[in-house]
Amino acid sequence: MTNQKLLCHVAYCGLYCGLCAHRIRIPQQASQLQKSLHEEGFDNWYQYVPDLKDTFPPFWQFLQKLTEIDCTCRTEGGPPECKIRQCAKQKGIEVCPRCKDYPCTLIQSLAEHYPTLIQDGKRLQKIGLEKWVKEQEERAKHGVVYADIRYPWKT
């Protein structure tokens, strides 16, 4: 498999998109909630509840949008002003663990919230991108997402 194909689900920082709750868990849960609401008739029943008449249609649209999330931090996902992405592009590197300065202060700062980030990056350096992606895919098969091990953003 080519590097470009492998990298399509690897953020510049070294996080694997297949372990992102925004990409995996949230769309699945939104879809399940939408299905349950539909099976219970809520997609029409809301019309008979005055408090829901105005709020349910936008909620339903929002729920639908959540089921369609398919971002990648390599292109449109993540914060638009991501300094890590900007730095990697400026240096012409595909993924931060391949940088001679790894782990830099930007990565160390992100690792305060993603405790496996630096070790995963070192693992990528050791075994190479192809084997590393396969290991991440195995994690994903077991239902692991970063949200399960991530530290809160607000402390």
Give the model confidence (pLDDT) of 20-56 as tens digits: 888 788 888 999 999 999 999 888 888 888 888 889 9
- Type of residue at 85: R
Using DSSP's 3-state secondary structure scheme, residue 31 falls into helix
Mean pLDDT (whole number) for 116-136: 95
Using DSSP's 3-state secondary structure scheme, residue 10 falls into strand
Rounded-to-integer distance, Cα 31 and Cα 28, Å: 5
Tell me the pTM.
0.77
Q: Where are the alpha helices (DSSP H) in the chain?
A: 3-7, 25-39, 42-45, 56-67, 83-91, 105-111, 117-127, 129-141
What pLDDT, in 10s, does the model give residues 99-123?
999 999 999 999 999 999 999 999 9
> What confidence category does residue 74 fall into, taking pLDDT thresholds of 50, 70 and 90?
low
Structure tokens at 46: 């809301």
